[in-house]
Amino acid sequence: MEAADLDYRARTQSGCLSPRLVSQLLEFGLAEEVEFWAGRGEWFCAREWTRLLSERGQQAEALEVLAPYVATGWWTAAEAMAELLEANGRAGNGLKACLPSLWSTDGSARSGAPADADKRARTALAQIVGAGQPVSFTAVARVAGVSTDFLYRHPEIRSLIERHRAKGGRVPGVRQADAEAPSSTSAAVRALSARLSQQQRAHREEIARLRKALEAAHGENLELRRRLARYEPQ
């Protein structure tokens, strides 16, 4: 998890589970999915799951959700943690907890260490090429511990990867689809969207069934009223 990636995704709402999708997951009772992805670098899931935990009075658990994001030095996450602590009467503790993560050892402000991520990406590419393995954005991202989105957004690194990938050509026994598999986030979005669509269909079918049952009940009620109207005591 890198602060630069988190910030870019949060600002552009690309390469991540969007706030709208997260809201739909909660609306259809899929809170366990929000919890799952909150622990895997999805900021909007983390933000909503933290809010739910806080509303339940589970402040300690909410802080644990935010901790990995704050540890990257991302200011937005630190602000969220400080607000949570302040809401629980621990504003001073909030600042003490967040500030160490936002500053490097030499006292300069951290920006998510993009230079370090750049270096790891170049090193990973060199390792893959040196080992004679097929070069792909997915492979470099996996070895470097960065996202494919990070690689695509850096023209020089992107050019290097594309150049080595072109030199390598098609590798026997490796399908092109496997070499360029979609990112885990994109796959997650598709999977969750499909699950939401399934839930929506189930809800629509349930609503249609209930409407039919209600119409039948209204019909029976009307028939009973008619019978009562014709009823004459002996």
- Give the model confidence (pLDDT) of 32-50 as tens digits: 888 988 888 889 999 999 9
How many domains would you assign to the chain?
2
pLDDT tens for 122-137 read: 898 999 888 888 888 8
- Residues 96, 139: one domain? no
pLDDT tens for 67-116 read: 888 888 888 888 888 888 887 765 444 444 444 444 443 444 444 445 67
pLDDT for residue 197 is more than 90: no
pLDDT band at residue 233 under the 50/70/90 scheme = low
- Residues 97, 127: one domain? no
- Residues 139, 171: one domain? yes
pLDDT value at residue 186: 63
58 CB neighbour count, 10 Å cutoff:
14
pLDDT for residue 15 is more than 70: yes
pLDDT value at residue 175: 42
Is residue 127 one of the residues assigned to a domain? yes
Rounded average pLDDT over 154-172: 75
Q: Find the domain containing 134 and state its range.
A: 114-179
Among 22-36, 95-109, 190-204, name the one with the lowest average pLDDT.
Answer: 95-109
3-state secondary structure 22-52: HHHHHHCCCHHHHHHHHCCCCHHHHHHHHHH
pLDDT value at residue 25: 85
Give dist(CA 97, CA 28) in Å, integer.
Answer: 35
CB 4 within 8 A of CB 112: yes
